[in-house]
Copies of this chain bind each other. A is one copy, B any other.
Amino acid sequence: MNMEKGAMAKAPSNHVVSAWARLLRARDASLSRIEAELKAAELPPLAWYDVLLELRQAEGGKLRPFELEGRLLLEQHNVSRLIDRMEAKGLVRRIKLADDGRGQAVAITEEGRALQKKMWLVYGPAIEGHVGRKLAASEAATLAGLLQKLL
């Protein structure tokens, strides 16, 4: 019986398949409802919010692209073009680094900080309306704990 390492996984149980299928559906359904609210408020997509929030929380309001990549689970080329668009809107700006000629830093601007706050005014209530409202407080905590195990 060769069962070493992570290889040789067998077929999943019905409970596991059900959890996986519902993870996909619950995410798609909730996200599309929440994104619809942002869109109705004429705000940009959630990916922009995620970038702005990470930058705002970072030391000095800036991160290097590969750090954003890791935190947002994006790939390098996607980060590159996402930053392009956001820089074009004045939400972030690229800064050359003195100590490493290869790298740059992406810094949030005042406009970026303002947009992040403005988006949260819609995003927060949307999370509450489409997620929080459907769960008891203890259920939300349990769900957060179980999902943590999948990371």
Interface segment among A85-93, A95-103, A104-112, A127-135: the answer is: A127-135
List chain A positions with a Cβ less than 8 A from chain B.
6, 8-13, 15-20, 22-32, 73, 124-135, 137, 139-144, 146-151
| A148 and B22 form a contact (CB under 8 A) | yes
Known: A134-B150, A139-B149, A151-B26. A127 touches B10 (CB 8 A): no
Instruction: Identify A19's interface contact among B12, B135, B151, CB under 8 A.
Output: B135
| B150 and A12 form a contact (CB under 8 A) | no
| B23 and A135 form a contact (CB under 8 A) | no
Q: Is the interface of A mostly helix, strand, loop or mixed?
A: helix
CA distance A26 to B149 in the complex (A): 8
Instruction: Identify A27's interface contact among B27, B135, B146, CB under 8 A.
Output: B27
CA distance A11 to B11 in the complex (A): 41
Instruction: Identify A144's interface contact among B18, B30, B31, B149, CB under 8 A.
Output: B18
Instruction: Given A16-B135, A23-B26, A30-B150, output 16 extra A-B contacts at Cβ < 8 Å.
Output: A6-B129, A8-B125, A9-B129, A10-B128, A12-B132, A15-B140, A22-B143, A22-B144, A22-B151, A23-B23, A23-B30, A26-B151, A135-B149, A139-B146, A142-B146, A143-B147
